[in-house]
């Protein structure tokens, strides 16, 4: 059975994260990576670098509305976690609050932020008559949501939390209670459920990449639950996503920890320049893309001191200037055909610096060792990794089933 393996791997994930002296350094970028991926499912084109540049008041390489949507996602996630940590229950009221923050600025601000819909919506097609799926009429939305809230509050230990999360996500997407933002709120719901019940101590497990990778199959499995005969297939798919995502998160955490340790050893060899270099490096761990001006301000160093420290880190191949001097970056990223990585550095301030190796590990942990600089030590796979590198228990690999695509809602 898949469920015990998933639960075990989530325990391993949290164990691997305890090795970080400051988990917030990891969470800052990891949460933003999730925001980018979840927003990509909605059609935004913002990259991780665009978001980091936007947050640092630099100039991103995409329309501002795209970056605002991703920034709103980060704000909504943080708002929900703050409320849960303060003892507020996961409820319809909190879901409305999260939605209001999510659509506060940008393209979705017209779609009644924080309000459940009072009109009919649909997925795919141009009208309900030719839609792929039509959610419940508006007069039934509150009844459906009331039953969902009751389910969220049930204290039933006989139903494992991961199963409950999978059922709740599918039901929320079926109700589609908002005019816009249903997919992003529904994906956040999974994280909030696992965090509220303390299966996760921090928000370190997200399914957006898995759902995006198997997008057609994701929609197909969700649609199967609406016919009353597809719940097993949906839960199998959901648990596979949890397993694969936890595996990936473990590998990312292990490799980032190794990278941080390797970089710190290099910094300790810088002699009298080590203290200021370490201040800049700690800034780079939390915010991998920055300007000299920003680094000097945040580290409380003079501009010349910050410049010298950044030069030392660049000479040690820990930092690099992210435009102008490394033209091969754009080529490397475009070959991956991915918007997950910072690939628009040329549109930013020409004196922007980045923790390039860190971004590679964060976004592509599975092949980071082969792509990192030669001075970075090879990363052996953890022994337990092979136990989970196995095919689907039904004997079939996950592959998209092109049944239909949607234009809204997920």
pLDDT of residue 205: 87
Q: Are residues 15 and 53 in the same domain?
A: yes
The answer to whether residue 201 is domain-embedded is yes
Q: Are residues 75 and 138 in the same domain?
A: yes
Q: Are residues 86 and 185 in the same domain?
A: yes
Which one has a higher pLDDT value, 349 or 283?
283
Q: What is the pTM of this model?
A: 0.77
The answer to whether residue 401 is domain-embedded is no
Q: Are residues 236 and 271 in the same domain?
A: no
pLDDT of residue 31: 83
In this predicted structure, the answer to whether residue 269 has a pLDDT above a threshold of 90 is yes
> What is the mean pLDDT of the segment spanning 315-331?
56
Among 215, 249, 283, the domain-final residue is 249
Residue 123 DSSP symbol: B
Q: Are residues 270 and 242 in the same domain?
A: no
Read off φ and ψ for residue 285, nearest 5 degrees.
-65, -40
Specify the range with the lowest mean pLDDT, choosing from 148-157, 369-378, 382-391: 382-391
Q: Are residues 234 and 285 in the same domain?
A: no
Unique residue bearing structure tokens 């795919």: 124
pLDDT of residue 60: 55
In this predicted structure, the answer to whether residue 232 has a pLDDT above a threshold of 80 is yes
Residue 403, classed as helix, strand or coil, is: coil
> What is the mean pLDDT of the segment spanning 94-106?
93
The answer to whether residue 129 is domain-embedded is yes
Distance CA 281, CA 390 (A): 38
Q: Are residues 41 and 136 in the same domain?
A: yes
In this predicted structure, the answer to whether residue 127 has a pLDDT above a threshold of 50 is yes
Mean pLDDT (the chain) is 77
List Cβ neighbours of 318 (8 Å cut-off, separation of 6 or more).
Answer: 263, 266, 267, 281, 284, 355, 357
Domain that residue 117 falls in:
2-249
In this predicted structure, the answer to whether residue 46 has a pLDDT above a threshold of 80 is no
Q: Are residues 60 and 176 in the same domain?
A: yes
Name the band, by pLDDT with cuts 50, 70 and 90, for residue 363: low
Distance CA 295, CA 244 (A): 36
CATH no. for residue 13? 1.10.3290.10
User: Based on the structure, what is the number of domains in the chain?
Assistant: 2
Read off φ and ψ for residue 188, nearest 5 degrees.
-65, -35
Distance CA 205, CA 198 (A): 13
> What is the mean pLDDT of the segment spanning 303-324?
84
């Amino acid at each position: 059975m898949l469920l015990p393996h998933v639960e075990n791997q989530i325990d391993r994930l949290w164990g691997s994260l305890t090795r970080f002296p400051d988990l917030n350094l990891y969470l800052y970028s990891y949460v933003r990576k999730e925001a980018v991926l979840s927003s990509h499912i909605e059609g935004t084109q913002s990259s991780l670098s665009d978001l980091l540049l936007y947050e640092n008041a630099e100039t991103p390489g995409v329309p501002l509305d795209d970056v605002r949507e991703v920034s709103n996602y980060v704000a909504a996630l943080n708002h929900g976690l703050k409320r849960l940590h303060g003892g507020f229950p996961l409820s319809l009221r909190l879901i409305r609050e999260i939605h209001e923050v999510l659509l506060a600025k940008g393209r979705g601000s017209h779609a009644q932020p924080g309000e459940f819909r009072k009109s009919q919506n649909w997925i795919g097609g141009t009208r309900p008559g030719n839609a792929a799926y039509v959610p419940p009429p508006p007069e039934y939305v509150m009844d459906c949501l009331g039953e969902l809230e009751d389910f969220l509050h049930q204290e039933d230990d006989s139903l494992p939390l991961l199963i409950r999360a999978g059922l709740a996500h599918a039901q929320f997407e079926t109700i589609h209670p908002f005019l816009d933002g249903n997919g992003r709120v529904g994906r956040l719901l999974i994280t909030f459920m696992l965090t509220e019940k303390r299966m996760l101590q921090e928000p370190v497990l997200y399914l957006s990449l898995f759902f995006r990778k198997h997008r057609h199959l994701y929609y197909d499995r969700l649609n199967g639950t609406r016919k009353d005969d597809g719940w097993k297939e949906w839960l199998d798919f959901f648990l596979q996503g949890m397993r694969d995502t936890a595996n990936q998160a473990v590998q990312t955490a292990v490799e980032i920890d190794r990278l941080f340790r390797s970089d710190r050893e290099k910094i300790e060899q810088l002699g009298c320049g080590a203290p200021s270099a370490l201040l800049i490096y700690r800034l780079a761990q939390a915010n991998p893309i920055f300007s000299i001006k920003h680094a000097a301000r945040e580290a409380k160093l003079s501009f010349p001191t910050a410049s010298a420290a950044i030069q030392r880190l660049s000479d040690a191949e820990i930092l690099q200037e992210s435009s102008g001097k490394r033209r091969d970056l754009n080529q490397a990223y475009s070959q991956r055909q991915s918007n997950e990585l910072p690939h628009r550095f040329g549109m930013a301030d020409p004196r922007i610096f980045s923790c390039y190796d860190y971004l590679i590990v964060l976004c592509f942990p599975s092949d980071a060792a082969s792509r990192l600089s030669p001075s970075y030590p090879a990363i052996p796979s953890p022994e337990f990794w092979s136990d989970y590198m196995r095919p689907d228990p039904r004997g079939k690999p996950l592959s998209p089933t092109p049944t239909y695509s949607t234009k809204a809602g997920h």
